[in-house]
Amino acid sequence: MASLLFRTFLLQSIFQLLRMVGDEPDEATGERMQWRTTKRSSGFKESSSRDTEEEDEEEQEESNAEAPPDKQDLDRIYARRVQWPVQKLAFRCQLVMELVSNILGVFHGALSDCFSPVLQPAIGVGSAFEGWSPRDDEDVVYHLLVPLKPPLGHTFHLELGTTGEIPAKDSRVRVELACTCTTGSPGEDTLCFLHNPKKQLRSNKAASFLGTLCTSSYLDVQKTAQWFQSKVKTAWLLLPQSRCYDMKVLPSSRSCKLQLKNASERTLMVELLFGVQQGDSDIFLSSQTPDAAFTPSTTWPQSYAVAEAKFFRHMTSQAPHGRFPLRCLHLCTRILAGTGFSTSALKTIVMHLLITTPLSGWCAKDFLLRLDNIMHYLRQCLETKRLNHFFVGNENVPKEIALPPALQTAEPVNLFQHLAQDQATHDEPLRPLQDRLTRLLFYGI
């Protein structure tokens, strides 16, 4: 704990010192920094008009700074030095979405049957689909959540684990048969899984949804993943993309991981998660790997990934400078990689700051100030050993994010509870954070 606090204090001090550099600018340093500020090339022609407008605006601001840089000039220069592969992310996210949409289209068509769950359109989640990434360009994994609906004649009942536990970790999805005797058209002989006496409907468990993808009447994560993995290999052969990419299904017990490789040996990693929506909200019970080392295959942890992605899309669409908040988050996660700070904690902090700091202040001229705000917030959380969950008990969540009423009225949940319970001092060695920050800001490495 003391080690984490010291590192946070060090980083915060570095940001404050960098902001003070403009008080007495060094002309030679200013010239060198201005000379090193070069235009990026994404390697892709595909980019949104908004991305281009944001970059042109920043470059115009920098080109006007012929004199030695002042504070605002330094902020803009530092902001430009951070590697920001947003165009590649956007293009590849679109590519992945189209590919997965085609795969699911085959499931609905050639591979559909009345004993399988109904696959809904995939939803992009995780940092890449939020518009940023803590990883290098080639290491990005594109995550998508595929919502599941019960097949005809079945219903899903969500059991949210331990009473009062938020977020729910031991949730399950109970599957029950439903009467379909009256759902058919007049004169149509509708087969009802609940009342039809035919053996193939009542006794042949091997051919039924309950018999193939459930365990003791509960939807089984591992069986669902195995079912999808076996089907996706067949679906892939029916797609035009199969002529452009080599596709390999990687081992995974709770998801479907796809490795795509083109003729140039460029690799694209895609992971499909499965989820059941909680009512009409943006919260899902997901197949994602839980924190516990051993988790029953019928456990579906509560996931906020869809709500988080929707939140970042909403806030960046409202911000005058677009995705700039994500650039700050990207840099902080790059600096703190391997130091004991989790990406999810930093993301939660930025989410809190986005609704408490004017969006007009998330811009290049206030770059270091925003970074200092993030580190100051993190330092406070470590000192108090408290970081509140963003969606639980937070009345300031934008109304565009659909949450179950119980979440909004619940008591705030402390994500740093483990720090309050564990008084042991972290003994990881101190990283050369100042050198890492300097490289990122001056050279974009």
A 10 A CB-CB count for 423 gives 8
Domain boundaries, the chain: 2-81+308-443, 88-303
Averaged pLDDT for residues 396-400: 94
88-303: what fold?
Beta Polymerase; domain 2 (3.30.460)
158-209 per-position pLDDT tens digit = 998 766 677 777 899 999 988 877 665 554 556 666 666 554 544 554 457 8
Q: Rounded CA gap, 54 and 202, in Å?
A: 61
Beta-strand relationship, 141-149 and 267-277? parallel
Please give the model's pTM, rounded to 2 decimal places.
Answer: 0.80
Q: Check whether 17 has a pLDDT greater than 90.
A: no
Tens digit of each residue's pLDDT (9 = 90 or more) over 18-35? 544 444 434 333 333 332
Q: Which residues lie below 8 Å from residue 266, measured CB to CB, with a gap of 6+?
A: none
